[in-house]
Structure 1
Amino acid sequence: MTVAPEPAPRASRAGRNLPAAIGVGLGLLVVVGASLWFRPEPFVAVVVVAVCAGLWELGSAFARRDIAAPTWPLLVGGVGMVVSAHVGGPEALLIAYVLTLAAVVLWQVLDGPGAQALRNAAAGVFAATYVPFLAGFVVLLLGQEDGPWRVAWFILLGVANDTGGYIAGVLFGRHPLAPTVSPKKSWEGLAGSVVLTTLVGVVGALWVLNLAFMPQGGAGVLGSALTLGLVLGLMTAVTATVGDLAESLLKRDLDLKDMGSLLPGHGGVLDRVDSLLVTAPFVYLVLSVAASGPAA
């Protein structure tokens, strides 16, 4: 008697295992939320783990093209950047970043000159910039007033971007956004991202910063929940989409479907945080200059 094999899990129209993606996504939100609850150190540790995993995935991807990015300088420097951002702020992050780049280049010079060494060093510089340096801005957000709430707000902006883009893309997607890079992304999906990220931006400005909904006399340009929410919503949708497309272009060049397989339904760690990495510096800068409330 022949037993028919069990059918493979069906992928959604967006091309992934939706139940697994939802389960893993909710699990990640629980881990991040729990790490933010009491003290900042557990969240910093979560960022360190994510950075190391992302660097490992990127190094494995580069190896497919016979590029050997210096592993140890990147891992040590990556941890150093995250910890420096937490302990010393933006100046310390910049110093740790420069020292990491110097260590990557020096490591490769000592390993031997030549065209291959140049490729390896360039890959190391890219990896140090793309993963730990950009991740450092999330830790800088944590150091601001009401830092845990701002980090949670930032993460929810990323979730809103993915959720709004996914729903609008599946239901209404007809016009490809960048068909040669990511065929499943559509202009309708981008519009859905803008709508939901703007909503989260406005609600966050009301809840986290206690801003008035409408602009008040004497308040700055970003001194109302409406204007700040609009800026954050539009900016997040654009930068997150750029981050997604940039990683898709990188994976296409490296002949990869996913950067890794650590997160079922999502791929690797970099597949999950690619949009957040690119968005983090912009959200940090906007919230750094935004008014904390109506002018007195």
Structure 2
Amino acid sequence: MSDGQDATVTRTGARHRQGAPRSGSTSRAGRNLPAAIATGVTLGAAVALSVFTDRRFFVGVICVALVLAVWEMRQAFAEQALRVPLVPVAIGAVCMTVGAYASGPEALVLATTLTCVAVLVWRVADGAAGSGRDVGAGVLVTLYPCFLGGFAALMAAEPQGQWRILVFILLVVLSDIGGYAVGVLVGRHPMAPALSPKKSWEGMAGSVLTSALGGAILIPLLFDGGQWWQGALLGAVVAPVATIGDLVESSIKRHLGVKDMSNILPGHGGIMDRLDSLALAAPFVWAVLRAVAPV
């Protein structure tokens, strides 16, 4: 997840400029902590309520989040004159999510394929000039985050789906908290200074430790037959995968010349600044949990 990376904005009209003043109290990692905590608690409560009342509500939450993420990425890509076809990608995101929940992995793959075809047809029908770049951008948004987000719907649809989602989200959150805390306290060696100057190898170690510890506790607690070492291994894998997801989004933002995808989440930036780590981690958690707790 985003730690407020200092993206270099090269275009005059960029929406989120380097060095723009931030309101409120900010931490060494560049976050407005009170706003970030309040937003995080609110989002967590909404997700928990939807998961533990009716998982179909959670599917609706995923759909809303992905459609907002598509809109954000379309706006960001427009900074470099790239036109992501909004309608087919947004509709495809909903179809991927609902299809995955209702009919499984095959439906997710089919909906993703059809969305890519729709992006091509929609954009080419609008004119051939620049269509190759726009189609490429549209397919990228279709896959990241929409296709990857569909794996959360797959987890929700399976037996003990609420616990699968809980493990998935908590491990990523623990990775973020551990990396943030250790990085702020003792971070000295930058991990990827060109993409995220605030991230350190010490913070990465903190992410792995907290996520592995959380997995070692959660897996035997929530799943019959689950072993602590399976949870520890899952957590140890989730942490670097989640960090890579964060760096992928940081790379996209840096190339587009934006700091945050939007500012709709106080203290966090945009929806994509929260989904980046979750999206990439979702397929890994889905696959490992199917092995730990077979469907």
Match of 1:35 in 2: 50
Deviation at 1:234, TM superposition (A): 1.5
Matched residue type, 2:228: A
> How do 1:180-259 and structure 2 match up within 5 A?
180-211=194-225, 224-226=227-229, 228-259=230-261
Displacement after TM superposition at 1:26 (Å): 0.7
Q: Deviations over 1:20-44 (max 9, x none)?
A: 0011001110000000112111100
In 2: Cα distance, 1:184 partner to 1:67 partner:
29
Deviations 1:219-278 (A, max 9, x none): xxxx6221x122211211111010011111111111111011110000000001100000
Residue among 69, 78, 102 paired with 2:117 = 102
Work out whether residues 189 and 201 of structure 2, in 8 Å CA contact, stay in contact via their aligned partners in 1: yes
Among candidates 124, 138, 141, match of residue 155 of structure 2: 141
Choose from 125, 134, 148 the match for 2:139: 125
2 CA distance for matches of 1:9 and 1:207?
39
| Alignment CA distance shift 1:8-1:105 (3 Å) | closer
> What letter matches 2:66 in structure 1?
V
Give the Cα–Cα distance (whole angstroms) in 2 for the partners of residues 38 and 291 of structure 1.
22
| TM norm structure 2 | 0.90
Helix, strand or coil at the partner of 1:256: coil
Aligned match for 2:173, one of 159, 162, 178:
159
Which 4+ residue blocks in structure 1 deviate beyond 6 angstroms? none
- What TM-score does the superposition give when structure 1 sets the normalisation length? 0.90
Note the C-alpha offset of 1:131: 1.6
How far, CA to CA, are the matches of 2:81 and 2:293 in structure 1?
49
Residues 212, 232 of structure 2: 8 Å contact kept? yes
Task: Provide the rounded CA distance (Å) in 1 between the counterparts of 2:68 and 2:182.
Answer: 31
- C-alpha separation in 2, matches of 1:15 and 1:210: 41
SS at match of 1:139: helix
Q: Which has the larger radius of gyration?
A: 1
Which of residues 277, 282, 289 in structure 2 aligns to 1:275?
Answer: 277
Matched, 1:260 2:262: yes
- Counting aligned pairs with the same residue, the percent is 47
Residue 102 of structure 2, aligned match among 87, 94, 116: 87
Q: By how many angstroms is 1:10 displaced? A: 2.4
Check conservation: 2:264, 2:271, Cα contact below 8 A: yes
> 1:123 is aligned with what amino acid?
A
What amino acid is the match of 1:185? K
2:222 and 2:116 map into 1 onto residues whose CA distance is 36
Q: Given the alignment, which residue of 75, 88, 109 partners 1:60?
A: 75
- Give the distance between the partners of 1:8 and 1:261, measured in 2 at CA: 12
Q: 2: CA distance between counterparts of 1:254 and 1:193?
A: 28
Residues in 2 aligned to 1:91 and 1:269: alpha-carbon distance in whole angstroms: 27
Note the alpha carbon deviations across 1:69-113, whole angstroms, 9 max, x for none. 111101111111011011111001111000100100111121222
User: Retained in 1: the 8 A contact 2:145–2:275?
Assistant: no
Deviation at 1:210, TM superposition (A): 2.8
- Confirm whether residue 15 of structure 1 aligns to residue 17 of structure 2: no
Shift in Å, 1:291: 4.8
Gaps of 5+ in 1: 1-6, 212-222
1:66 partner letter: A
What is the SS of the residue equivalent to 2:80?
Answer: coil
- For the residue of structure 2 that corresponds to 1:153, the secondary structure is helix
Structure 2 residue runs without a partner (length 5+): 1-21
1:288 is the counterpart of 2:281: no
Cα RMSD (Å): 1.2
Aligned AA (1:108):
R
- Kindly provide the amino acid, as one letter, of the partner of residue 231 in structure 1: L
Report which structure shows greater RCO (CA 8 Å, sep ≥6): 2
Q: Which residue of 2 aligns with 1:220?
A: none
Alignment partner of 2:27: what SS? coil
